[in-house]
């Protein structure tokens, strides 16, 4: 629950908040300076229309009063009525133009800020995806941030317009009573303080609830997405998931209710104070008009200015407090976009192709940020050029983690990995990845055409049908494409209208084809046949030597029979390299590999 100490004040200094505000204003200005300028001009012009309208109403009231008293001509009232209507029309046109420009600027802001989030998410170290804190920070960063980013600017403009309007009202009001003019300034101080405190509460509530809000979304997604639908129905635990979801929902709702009740109590208090001040000012206005012998039009003008000024000052206070709240939220966005990225080694060394001297690993150790216990422990081995290396071991032995280190996806390891004598961390990461192909166990199923599914392997050749068809032929995906209604142009997956769903094995063949789009020096195959039928598996292994020619191939497999084709086998157990050698050597050794191989062989006998 939100405690009293948690709602007092976020630990962010005023200087930091001003820096965030300045950064946000600069961002929007750079997006479209002409749009911002035109919007600013429209706001300035619109700011003076209310005070002009007050002066017109004063004259109109006096003219109508004179007309009713002396039965005069209608020409004078009509003139002022026309002026009032003209001001209303001009105000409406200015407002319509401002709204349209606001929409254009909002679109640009949303696109830019969401692009910044996406680019940052795709460039952070992969190991951060193993940290719950990353998902909390991402949740806060993307929570309506594009809307909030623009809202911050819109409120800044609104305050400027309101200040100009109030300034013009002060000029009008000063003409009648300087006491009323100065007194209205005092109205904004308590209102501003109250709304700023409410903004702090809402921001801090958002921070505290982030982990529970993510769980709320997680359980709701389990109940509604396609991937979980079969298991939820089979095991009939939908009611339990609904119970979990409801628990987190009402926990959050209860905390929100407490904050809202405290906020409403403060609002009621400040509204009561403002109402009392407004009553006293109105009484004073009547006395001013009586004591100075002012006309009825003057009283109407004073009353209208008092009401409009109080409304404008209240709006200024609310917008200022909202700017404070939005700035706190935007600080979360900039914290995320300013976080560290992967080191790309740009401009240092480029991987040779093919690899001439091989890969040398010395004392490799790796631990995930969330656990002090190493997943890989002091591994040392060598991989020769053009070698096919199988990595085997029980679940949790560290096979996939080792491969992620070898191809540079995990960079926070100790020890050294050298390609042709060059430290992996000194290689140009982008050039290195261009020379690496992979089919991961959790490969992606892109809900786009078959052609794009394969072409994503090399976006520079997505229109090269010869290359796409060759990759499909190598992986066996050509047989899948021939069964599709529109061939390579068939939309795949069930999510979008007209999509054609595939079996898991068919999807895996497309993933293999995607990896074959690259002229890679390193090929990673993580359980490449796990979803294939025996005939497709046999056909793939039959062509394996051709597919692996001229490159180092890293093969992760639980089917040890497929490891017989490997030149070298690394056997992992509890993160340690316990054995290595060829299939025949490891069988003769009668160790861990032999035990696993014999256990699997018995199931086939």
User: Residue 1: pLDDT band by 50, 70, 90 thresholds?
Assistant: very low
Q: So what's the pLDDT on residue 604?
A: 59
CA distance 196 to 324: 7
Q: What is the mean pLDDT of the chain?
A: 80
354: preceding bond cis by omega (within 30 degrees): yes
Read off the pTM: 0.69
User: Residue 7: pLDDT band by 50, 70, 90 thresholds?
Assistant: very low
C-beta of residue 345 within 8 angstroms of C-beta of residue 429: yes
Residues in the chain: 605
Domains observed in the chain: 14-123+130-337 (1.20.1560.10), 438-518 (no CATH)
CA distance 383 to 598: 26
- Is residue 238 scored above 60 in pLDDT? yes
Q: Which helix (H) or strand (E) covers residue 211, if one does?
A: helix 178-224
CB-based burial, 200-219: b 16+ in 10 Å, e otherwise: bbbbbbbbbbbeebebbeeb
Strand partners, 576: 573
For 67-97, how does the pLDDT look when each residue is reduced to its tens digit (9 = 90+)?
767 766 677 778 888 888 888 899 889 888 9
Of 395, 379, 388, nearest to 583 by C-alpha is 388
Q: So what's the pLDDT on residue 487?
A: 93
Q: So what's the pLDDT on residue 217?
A: 80
Q: What does the block give as tokens for 200?
A: 């702090």
Most confident of 270-279, 281-290, 325-334, 365-374: 365-374
C-beta of residue 364 within 8 angstroms of C-beta of residue 405: yes
Tell me the backbone φ, ψ of residue 491, rounded to 5 degrees.
Answer: -75, 130
CA distance 478 to 556: 24
Least confident of 190-204, 425-439, 547-561: 190-204
- Is residue 331 scored above 60 in pLDDT? yes
**Number of H helices and number of E strands within the chain?**
20, 10
| Through-space distance between the first and last CA atoms of the chain, rounded to whole angstroms | 60
Could you count the other beta carbons within 10 Å of the beta carbon of residue 347?
A: 8
Torsion of CA 292, 297, 300, 306, to 10 degrees: -60
For 36-60, how does the pLDDT look when each residue is reduced to its tens digit (9 = 90+)?
889 888 888 888 888 888 778 777 7
Of 174, 183, 158, 161, nearest to 301 by C-alpha is 174
User: Residue 578: pLDDT band by 50, 70, 90 thresholds?
Assistant: very high
CA distance 263 to 280: 26
For 157-168, how does the pLDDT look when each residue is reduced to its tens digit (9 = 90+)?
777 777 777 777
How much of the chain exceeds pLDDT 90, in percent? 16
Q: So what's the pLDDT on residue 48?
A: 84
Strand partners, 579: 571
- Is residue 8 scored above 60 in pLDDT? no
User: Residue 545: pLDDT band by 50, 70, 90 thresholds?
Assistant: low
CA distance 195 to 314: 10
Most confident of 195-209, 219-233, 308-322, 400-414: 400-414
């Amino acid at each position: 629950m939100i405690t009293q100490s948690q709602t007092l004040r976020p630990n962010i200094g005023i200087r930091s908040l001003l820096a965030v505000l300045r950064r946000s204003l600069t961002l929007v200005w750079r997006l479209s300076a002409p749009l911002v300028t035109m919007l600013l001009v429209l706001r300035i012009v619109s700011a003076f229309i209310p005070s002009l309208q007050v002066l017109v109403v004063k004259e109109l009231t006096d003219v109508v009063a004179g007309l009713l008293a002396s039965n005069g001509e209608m020409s004078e009232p009509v003139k002022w009525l026309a002026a009032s209507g003209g001001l209303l029309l001009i105000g409406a046109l200015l407002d319509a133009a401002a709204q349209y420009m606001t929409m254009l600027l909002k679109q640009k802001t949303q696109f830019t800020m969401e692009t910044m989030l996406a680019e940052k998410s795709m460039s952070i170290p992969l190991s951060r995806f193993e940290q719950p804190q990353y998902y909390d920070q991402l949740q806060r960063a993307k929570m309506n941030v594009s809307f909030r980013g623009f809202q911050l600017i819109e409120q800044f403009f609104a305050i400027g317009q309101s200040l100009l309007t109030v300034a013009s009202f002060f000029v009008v009001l000063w003409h009648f009573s300087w006491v009323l003019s100065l007194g209205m300034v005092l109205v904004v101080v308590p209102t501003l303080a109250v709304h700023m405190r409410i903004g702090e509460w809402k921001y801090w509530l958002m921070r505290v609830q982030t982990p529970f809000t993510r769980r709320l979304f997680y359980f709701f997604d389990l109940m509604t997405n396609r991937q979980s639908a079969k298991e939820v129905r089979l095991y009939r635990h939908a009611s339990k998931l609904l119970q979990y979801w409801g628990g987190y929902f009402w926990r959050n709702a209860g905390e929100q209710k407490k904050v809202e009740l405290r906020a409403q109590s403060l609002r009621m208090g400040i509204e009561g104070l403002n109402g009392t001040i407004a009553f006293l000012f109105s009484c004073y206005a009547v006395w001013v008009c009586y004591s100075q012998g002012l006309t009825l039009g003057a009283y109407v003008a004073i009353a209208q200015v008092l009401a409009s000024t109080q409304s404008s000052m209240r709006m200024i206070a609310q917008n200022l407090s909202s700017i404070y709240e939005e700035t706190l939220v935007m600080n979360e966005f900039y914290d995320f976009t300013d976080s560290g990225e992967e080191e790309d080694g740009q401009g240092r060394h480029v991987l040779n192709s093919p690899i001439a001297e091989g890969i040398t690993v010395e004392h490799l150790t790796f631990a995930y940020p969330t656990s002090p216990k190493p997943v890989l422990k002091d591994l040392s081995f060598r991989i020769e050029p053009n070698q096919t290396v199988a990595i085997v071991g029980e679940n949790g032995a560290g096979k996939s983690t080792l491969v992620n280190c070898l191809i540079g996806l995990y960079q926070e390891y100790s020890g050294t990995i050298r390609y042709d004598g060059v430290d992996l961390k000194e290689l140009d990461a982008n050039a290195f990845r261009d020379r690496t192909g992979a089919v991961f166990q959790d490969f992606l199923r892109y809900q786009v055409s078959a052609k794009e599914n394969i072409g994503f392997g090399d976006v520079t050749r997505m229109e090269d049908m010869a290359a796409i068809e060759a990759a499909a032929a190598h992986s066996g995906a050509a047989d899948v494409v021939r069964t599709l209604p529109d061939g390579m142009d068939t939309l795949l997956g069930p999510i979008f209208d007209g999509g054609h769903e595939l079996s898991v094995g068919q999807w895996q063949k497309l993933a293999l084809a995607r990896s074959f789009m690259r002229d890679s020096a390193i090929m990673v195959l993580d359980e490449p046949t796990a979803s294939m039928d025996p005939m497709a598996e046999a056909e793939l292994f039959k062509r394996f030597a051709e597919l692996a020619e001229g490159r180092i191939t890293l093969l992760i497999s639980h089917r040890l029979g497929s490891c017989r084709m490997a030149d070298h086998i690394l056997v992992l157990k509890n993160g340690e390299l316990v054995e290595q050698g060829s299939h025949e050597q490891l069988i003769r050794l009668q160790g861990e590999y032999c035990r696993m191989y014999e256990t699997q062989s018995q199931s086939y006998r």
